[in-house]
């Protein structure tokens, strides 16, 4: 039996090596450090929310933080995975695949925003590099405004 280090991905595989595959699989899709910081700040302000929830049951996409009664969906986007204009750098290994993947993510993000807005939701998106304090303040202010308008 061959050792793991001698494994080669099949032609056209998304991972350029077994090590790269392990690295990519270890990346969290929820409970990232920026998300946890922002959630902690929101909770300290007395706000309650759903985590990694579907705002719309028929839409197979989840928001990082959801305030259902206020109809607010919050996304904390990773700079690499969502193509941050300030920080995204195309990888040196298998750049075609990864650039296409990020482009598909960005396209899906815009589609998600549009669908949620059409359903009467407010969408807030933040980059992972933004100040958690600033993000939490904006989220809290938006929740407050939406609750006032609802009453």
Domain regions of the chain by residue span: 1-28, 31-150
For domain 31-150, the CATH superfamily is VSR Endonuclease (3.40.960.10)
Q: Which residues of the chain have pLDDT under 70?
A: 1-17, 19-29, 151
Q: What is the pLDDT of residues 124-140, one digit of tens each?
A: 999 999 999 999 999 99
- pTM of the predicted model as reported, rounded to 2 decimal places: 0.81
123 beta partners: 73
pLDDT in tens, 42-53: 999 999 999 999
Torsion of CA 99, 103, 106, 112, to 10 degrees: -140
The two structure tokens encoding residue 112:
């998600």
């Amino acid at each position: 039996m061959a050792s793991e280090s001698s494994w080669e991905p099949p032609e056209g595989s998304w991972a350029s090596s077994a090590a790269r595959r392990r690295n990519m699989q270890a990346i969290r899709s929820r409970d990232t450090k920026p998300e946890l910081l922002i959630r902690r700040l929101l909770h300290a302000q007395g706000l309650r929310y759903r985590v990694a929830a579907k705002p719309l049951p028929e839409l197979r996409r989840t928001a990082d933080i959801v305030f259902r009664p206020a109809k607010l969906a919050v996304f904390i986007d990773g700079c690499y995975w969502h193509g941050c204009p300030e920080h995204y750098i195309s990888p040196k290994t298998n750049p075609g695949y990864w650039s296409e993947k990020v482009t598909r993510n960005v396209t899906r993000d815009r589609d998600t925003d549009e669908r949620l807005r059409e359903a009467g939701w407010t969408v807030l998106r933040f980059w992972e590099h933004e100040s958690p304090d600033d993000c939490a303040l904006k989220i809290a202010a938006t929740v407050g405004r939406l609750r006032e308008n609802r009453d």
